[in-house]
Structure 1
Amino acid sequence: MQSQPPFTALAAVYDAIMADVEYDHWADFVLTYARDGGLEARSALDLACGTGGLTRELLAAGLRVHGLDGSAEMLRVARGRLGPGVALSVGDLRTFDLGETFDLVTCVFDSLNNLLTPADLGAALARARAHLHPGGLLACDLNTRIGVRDLWEGDAVEGLARTPDGREVHYHWSHHHDAEADLGVVQALCRVQDDRGGWEEFVEVHRERGYDPADLEPLLRDAGFDRWEIVEYPDYAPPSPDTPRVWVFAWVGA
């Protein structure tokens, strides 16, 4: 079995496994919050856009969208999904510089948890801030510490999915919490039917650090955001101590 870097081999089967992810509801959640705050966004930067799930929903809502991701493999899938007219860039969340600004910056599906130190997360927040117009909004979600510690009931998920061309994908993803490093570790094992009826197997190891609201607030302040709100999905309620995932809405002053 081949061990692969995160989000490389997985790119080819990611959309099949994640077919039930509610990107449309997430987009509505973000755009509703923006409108209620007085922002009618016309342009968006979708960070860690992956295969373009949220990017596609923002495009459908009429926004001009630029997608950025650290994985060229995921972006190749996004290009096929979104077509040639959408700007897509390979970039590091901590250091990217596109030379333009946007009304809205998004980063969803706990992508920021892949930044394993507060310094790295702070750098990514500062780069997001630098790419926002005055009056612009950052919208992102993060798993909290308890969310990373107790990611899945039974610490595993498994199932069968099918790619668009009909190939079977068997997956078994296991999770454990590394208490010493305070990281969640996911071993993503996939067994994929090939074109000849045989099988290919690979495994990717993904690591996440959880961030609580108390961890996030000084990082948002240091990144240059003027005000922010940390809430639960889907009702925008304040998070409780046992909330597994929070959404951050952070504003740049006009």
Structure 2
Amino acid sequence: MSRYGEFAYVYDQLMADVPYDDWAEFFNQQVAKAKTKPDSILDLACGTGELSVRFAQEGFSVVGVDLSDDMLMVAQEKATEAGVTLSLFQQNMAELELLKEFDCVVIFCDSLNYLQSDKEVQETIQRVYKHLKPGGLFIFDVHSVHKMKDVFGNQSFSYVDEDVSYIWNCTYDDTDMRVEHDITFFAYDEEMDAYHRFDEVHAQRTWSIDHYQSWLSEAGFINIEVSADFKMSEPTSNSERIFFSAQKKEAE
């Protein structure tokens, strides 16, 4: 699986239309609904820091964790440019180990789908629980089964721009609801005055809503809520992005 090497440096250009503001707004809605007043956020799989920087600009104390050193380097550059402070750590979310508890933990942008086994997802949820303060809030989103099967499926996509282009082929495996994304990039190199090709392979897997709910309950979470596509409404058969919100039990 790719660790976002060269891809980290063209990621934001390719993701310019991604609705990060919608994630930030959804987070604020969930916090208001839970009637909590968080000060600290752990942004797991923070990537290039788009959401981490937004949270920091809103006054939160933010820690970002990502598997890719390259992504974290870009995130640090963004934080510096924005004049905010981020604490950034390179870790696998399934092996999360920080000497701190947080008011909120988020895993946004379907990042949890990059875990490839039941065990990895369960361990991540359990470690999130341990890193939350009593009453703390855990929010994450995943691709729905419908999106993996019917939207990605065995489809091909392409994007052409002067600076970077790609050819993206998806291969769907129905046995474990897994999609392999095989992407070939062509990025313009100013020094060489030529296009540089590099390839990335990313695998994503999802599970049923019932599986995620069960794993959250087993970890000790309460007040588990499920919604879809940045709305507070229940998922339907055509929903593409499933959101989960859950709380750690208050201290006894």
**TM-score, normalising length: structure 1:** 0.91
1:218-229 equivalences under 5 Å are 218-229=214-225
Query: For residue 165 of structure 1, what is the aligned residue in structure 2?
Result: none
CA deviations 1:103-145 (Å, max 9, x no partner) are 1101111100111111110101111111111111011000122
2:58 pairs with 1:24: no
Kept after mapping to 1: 8 A contact 2:39/2:103: yes
Of 12, 31, 35, 2:32 maps to 35
Q: In structure 2, how many angstroms separate the alpha carbons of the residues matched to 1:140 and 1:161?
A: 32
Cα offset for 1:180?
4.3
1:211-222 equivalences under 5 Å are 211-222=207-218
Query: For residue 98 of structure 1, what is the aligned residue in structure 2?
Result: 98
CA deviations 1:158-178 (Å, max 9, x no partner) are 22346xxxxx01112221202
Tell me the SS of whatever aligns to 1:151.
helix
CA deviations 1:212-245 (Å, max 9, x no partner) are 2111111101222122101113221111233222
Cα offset for 1:57?
1.4
Query: For residue 55 of structure 2, what is the aligned residue in structure 1?
Result: 58
Q: In structure 1, how many angstroms separate the alpha carbons of the residues matched to 2:62 and 2:111?
A: 18
1:161–1:108 distance in 2 versus 1, CA, 3 Å:
farther
Query: For residue 167 of structure 2, what is the aligned residue in structure 1?
Result: 172
Tell me the SS of whatever aligns to 1:104.
strand
Of 225, 244, 247, 1:248 maps to 244
Tell me the SS of whatever aligns to 1:150.
helix
Q: In structure 2, how many angstroms separate the alpha carbons of the residues matched to 1:76 and 1:151?
A: 32
Q: In structure 1, how many angstroms separate the alpha carbons of the residues matched to 2:22 and 2:238?
A: 23
Kept after mapping to 1: 8 A contact 2:153/2:170: no
What amino acid is the match of 2:37? E
Q: In structure 1, how many angstroms separate the alpha carbons of the residues matched to 2:108 and 2:118?
A: 18
Kept after mapping to 2: 8 A contact 1:173/1:189: yes
What amino acid is the match of 1:222? E
Query: For residue 70 of structure 2, what is the aligned residue in structure 1?
Result: 73
Query: For residue 233 of structure 1, what is the aligned residue in structure 2?
Result: 229
Kept after mapping to 1: 8 A contact 2:139/2:245: yes
Kept after mapping to 2: 8 A contact 1:149/1:176: no
Tell me the SS of whatever aligns to 2:182.
strand
Unaligned runs of 5+ in 2: none
CA deviations 1:77-126 (Å, max 9, x no partner) are 11111128310000011111111011110111110011111111010111
Cα offset for 1:76?
0.9
Q: In structure 2, how many angstroms separate the alpha carbons of the residues matched to 1:98 and 1:154?
A: 39
Could you say what the CA RMSD is over the residues aligned between the two structures, in angstroms? 1.7
Alignment identity in percent?
28
Cα offset for 1:150?
2.4
Kept after mapping to 2: 8 A contact 1:145/1:209: no
**TM-score, normalising length: structure 2:** 0.92
